[in-house]
A and B are shown apart, each in its own frame.
Chain A
Amino acid sequence: MKNDDKKTKARRRFLAGGLGAAALGALAQGSTAGRRADRPVWQLDPYLCSQCGRCATECVLKPSAVKCVHAYAMCGYCELCFGYFLPGARSLDESAENQTCPTGAIRRRFIEEPYFEYVIDEPLCIGCAKCVTGCNTFGNGSLFLQVRHDRCLNCNECAIAAVCPADAFVRVSASRPYIFKGENDSTSGGLS
């Protein structure tokens, strides 16, 4: 009995030592990493996104934490916006049956002849990427999706990342949590 006790104690000391060493090692690794990148958060690379629609359906939140973002500086302010109007729209006005967006989340405003501004009404946007497809295929590609960090829960494994067919989701540093279009060289991914 006593002997057993001693053995258990020795084993315990060994294990505690091992755990301690592992913790120290991990801490050392973590602290050097701390300087390079702080906490990771999820983001999607708009240059990889194939607008599959899963961002709207797979997020653990309803509506999704992914929303459409407008890079205004890239926008042509076109009267005929391909993100805003459905192909075959009857007329270029604001009636719902002409709009790409299923929730009417894009607000169109006349600026001056012949320019119109398009603004995303975020609370209405569900991240379905329909407007993104339109803008990418026919327009300047200034509409794109982003994980919005005021909503995102930063799940340990993002439920969208797990199924994104374009592998567009990446962990990015929390200090630079967005990959915007038109900010860097517009032909390469925002990550470098």
Chain B
Amino acid sequence: MKGLLIAVVFLTLSGVATAPAAGAGRYPEPDFESGYVIPTATTPAPNAPSWEYLHLVVLAAVLAVTALLVLKVRYRAGVYILMIVSLAYFGFWRQGCICPVGSQQNVILGISDSSYTVPIFVIGFFFLPLVTAVFFGRVFCGAVCPLGAVQDVVALRPVRIPEWLEHALRMVPYVILSLMVLFVATGAGFIVCRYDPFIAFFRLSGSAFMVTVGAVFLIAGIFVARPYCRFLCPYAVLLSWGSRLSWLHATITPDECVKCRLCENACPFGAIQKPTPERIAEPRERGVKRLALLSLLLPLIVAAGMVAGWYAGTPLSRAHKTVYTAEQVYMEEAGLTDQTTLESEAFAAAGRPAADLYEDAEQVRGRFRRGGALAGAFLGVVFGMKMLSLSIYRQRDDYEINKAWCLSCARCFNYCPREQARRSGPREQDE
């Protein structure tokens, strides 16, 4: 009977309940006579920011030691040990956030959203590996990045990927970079963090989907060395730009290449370039013609990229919360669906007029279209330049490292007989 009574109380109250929106103060504050003291809820503090500065100092230190190990000591085992240390520290102990790869998005957000200011240590995380790359190549990838490290330890049976495929797949990071910038600048979120395949692994916790993706990457990584680094990582684009111009860069041989071919298959990432075969004499004007044609084509490719980007903007904008909520609310209002979603329910509860939401959504779509056109133009330039660079013949006499692709892991050094000679002491060098 008491149950019935409670049900009645609930029912009568549910009528009343709609009146005060905030729901506060329906029942008066009690007057305690027993001397009861009203407690307050606890507020445990987040980690002190000084921790973040410690991480930054560790990052700088590990970068410096790696550069030393790769460029001066030339010692793969040392690089490997350092990589394991970084993996333990930045990956499993620190559990990922924030990492230089993700920090790119904070920097973009700091530029595009005036209400967000990038904390200094985040700026440090973003710039340190890049500045290092300009001086010493991608040493960050070699032994510091936890995402790279976890892939490096599983790269046990790397297979060689055909060169044309490698070149084609290496274009994907540019697409990811463009999408990343587009999504941050339009307020759609941090997709590089959302789809980070390894962070669930570092935390030993995460959504079932991302755990599966991570497992697939790690298994694929046994045969395709560092698949994320080579064919997805957006930060790799910036690092490779820096590394191309690096002041000092890892070299296969400590002194001169004797063209023994021993290192030919040493690099699991396809970053060793063979000497070019004797040039088959090509009539000069044919080369010139081809170059002229390509440079004429370049503006066309850029224009095509812009148009494609503009049209891709609308479907891409569906990833934005405002847009998918607006589309759902519109469908419901037009009677096209009787299913509501959590988004449309939350929107209804907030009591805003639907027209406002539609207007917001239209603005987001506009941002996506304009940003998409810019991203398309950028990709056009990148693809055009790639075609140009592939069609220009460059003479290469020695086995050389491709500075853009080299991850400074120091694997190839051991394959070089000149390196072996160097190791066995200065005695031989004197002779």
- The answer to whether A153 and B203 have CB atoms under 8 Å apart is yes
Which residues of the partner chain A approach B102 to less than 8 Å between Cβ atoms? Answer: 156-157
12 CB contacts below 8 A, A to B, read A16-B134, A19-B127, A26-B127, A29-B118, A78-B27, A92-B6, A149-B44, A156-B190, A157-B102, A162-B189, A165-B325, A165-B345
- The contact string, 1 if C-beta is below 8 Å from chain B, for chain A 65-106, is 000011111101110101001011111100000000000000
Contacts A36-B117, A157-B102 supplied; 8 other A-B pairs, CB < 8 Å = A30-B118, A60-B200, A87-B7, A88-B3, A92-B2, A157-B190, A165-B347, A177-B46
- The answer to whether A157 and B23 have CB atoms under 8 Å apart is no
B13-63 CB contacts (< 8 Å) to partner A: 13-14, 17, 22-30, 32-34, 36, 38-41, 43-47, 49, 52
A47 to chain B, nearest CB (A): 7
Which residues of the partner chain A approach B120 to less than 8 Å between Cβ atoms? Answer: 27, 30-31, 34
Closest to B43 in A: A178
Given contacts A90-B2, A171-B116, contact A30 B123 (CB under 8 A): yes
Q: Does B342 contact A (CB under 8 A)?
A: yes
Bound Cα distance A30, B39 (Å): 39
Which residues of the partner chain B approach A137 to less than 8 Å between Cβ atoms? Answer: 14, 17, 23
Q: Does B254 contact A (CB under 8 A)?
A: no
- The answer to whether A19 and B26 have CB atoms under 8 Å apart is no
A148-181 CB contacts (< 8 Å) to partner B: 148-150, 152-157, 159, 162-163, 165-167, 171, 174, 177-178, 180-181
Q: Does A62 contact B (CB under 8 A)?
A: yes
Which residues of the partner chain B approach A180 to less than 8 Å between Cβ atoms? Answer: 41, 43
Q: In the complex, which of the residues A73, A111, A166 contacts B350, with contact meaning CB atoms closer than 8 Å?
A: A166
B322 to chain A, nearest CB (A): 9
- The answer to whether A159 and B342 have CB atoms under 8 Å apart is no
Which residues of the partner chain A approach B39 to less than 8 Å between Cβ atoms? Answer: 72, 119
Given contacts A90-B2, A91-B3, contact A150 B44 (CB under 8 A): yes
7 nearest CB pairs, A to B = A76-B27, A33-B117, A141-B23, A150-B44, A157-B190, A165-B346, A12-B245
Which of the four size classes fits the interface of chain A? 35 or more
Given contacts A71-B41, A165-B346, A186-B24, contact A156 B106 (CB under 8 A): yes
Closest to B191 in A: A157
Which residues of the partner chain A approach B3 to less than 8 Å between Cβ atoms? Answer: 88-91
Closest to A138 in B: B13
Most buried by B among A52, A73, A76, A156: A156
Which residues of the partner chain A approach B193 to less than 8 Å between Cβ atoms? Answer: 155-157
- The answer to whether A72 and B95 have CB atoms under 8 Å apart is no
- The answer to whether A187 and B43 have CB atoms under 8 Å apart is no
A58 to chain B, nearest CB (A): 8
- The answer to whether A77 and B321 have CB atoms under 8 Å apart is no
Bound Cα distance A82, B10 (Å): 9
Q: In the complex, which of the residues A8, A72, A154, A159 contacts B194, with contact meaning CB atoms closer than 8 Å?
A: A159
Bound Cα distance A67, B2 (Å): 31
- The answer to whether A156 and B98 have CB atoms under 8 Å apart is yes
- The answer to whether B14 and A76 have CB atoms under 8 Å apart is no
Most buried by A among B33, B97, B346: B346
Which residues of the partner chain B approach A186 to less than 8 Å between Cβ atoms? Answer: 22, 24-25
- The answer to whether B22 and A26 have CB atoms under 8 Å apart is no
Q: Does B130 contact A (CB under 8 A)?
A: yes
Closest to A180 in B: B41
Q: Does A124 contact B (CB under 8 A)?
A: no
- The answer to whether A111 and B34 have CB atoms under 8 Å apart is yes
B234-254 CB contacts (< 8 Å) to partner A: 241-242, 245-247
- The contact string, 1 if C-beta is below 8 Å from chain B, for chain A 17-61, is 001101100110111011011111100000110101110001011
- The answer to whether B97 and A155 have CB atoms under 8 Å apart is yes
Given contacts A71-B41, A159-B207, contact A166 B47 (CB under 8 A): no
- The answer to whether A47 and B22 have CB atoms under 8 Å apart is yes
Closest to A69 in B: B41
Which residues of the partner chain B approach A70 to less than 8 Å between Cβ atoms? Answer: 41
